[in-house]
Structure 1
Amino acid sequence: MTSDATQSATPSPSPLDIPIGALQGGAADLGQYAGKAVLVVNVASKCGLTPQYAGLERLQATYAERGFTVLGVPCNQFMGQEPGSAEEIAEFCSATYGVTFPMTEKVEVNGEGRHPLYQRLVGFADAEGHSGDIRWNFEKFLIGRDGQVVARFAPATEPEAPEVVAAVEEQLA
């Protein structure tokens, strides 16, 4: 994607400029990821897609040294599949999948209570043209080094799918 959109009279603020809490309390300083590629994923511990945590962690391990991070955003809006407390979520992710990537506080990704981070993300369409509401747990948004959303992937798209890996590598080139 070219930077033409960022050169308009009023460039879009980066999703990384939006305040959000960290899973374990305090602020999650998303500004620390400026200049990096970030894969934002709404996650849940009790979903059929939960095994995607393993692929997300492998992406983190593979690309972290090149300026990439996964950012997990717990959400309990889809059939109550993330009911745990912050401590329970952190323990599950660490013990079950060895998650090392950062996690935010649990938020709403749809509806009137949609977190501002997701208000900013949902306007971006995926390759099939879907924009708007998050469809399910594990929907993925790639934010490029320029701070703008460059790709969106459906929930069932595996983290290590060729199209995801290609998009990440393009941002790290």
Structure 2
Amino acid sequence: MNIKTLALTAALAVAAATTATAASNEVKNGQFNNGLNKWDVFGGTTIGTYKNSSAAYLTSKGKLAQVFQVAASGLYDFAFKFGAISQLSFKLTDIDNGLTLLSGKIQGNGKLFNTVNLSSDVIYAISFASNNAYVDNVSLKSTVAVPGPEAGAGLGAMAMGGAAFWMVRRRRETTVA
């Protein structure tokens, strides 16, 4: 293996080590593409169409809930779309400690977005209730930033490249002399 190949391999290895992936959604089937699978359903709750996509349709004391546990402690973005002809109640609850973290009653059309601090050693529940409302795109995603390039991360690759250049130059000088 020649020096140039070695230096290039080292530089690529350093660059690959600094990449990361974005967090996944903690809510399962939040877009209701698989019907009401993964959701606990009470009262009049079916699948309908809201703004050209599958959505949960809550009618006649309809209730929808999901219990979950987050993978890591930290801040999470809780969001969902709604179309509520009558009032839509929502609640994010810490089941272990009996605490309501978020709750509210909304009406009309829109998207609700809020940031909450969750712990990985607690079980939570998301619930919705209404007599006439759609719920769609329910998500709970970690707000932890995906790390970008760090200052000085390429210094190792530059040092290896400089060392390789110096070795090649030194070898040329010894063959000439």
Q: Shorter-chain TM-score: what band?
A: under 0.3
More strand by share: 2
Q: Which has the higher helix share?
A: 1
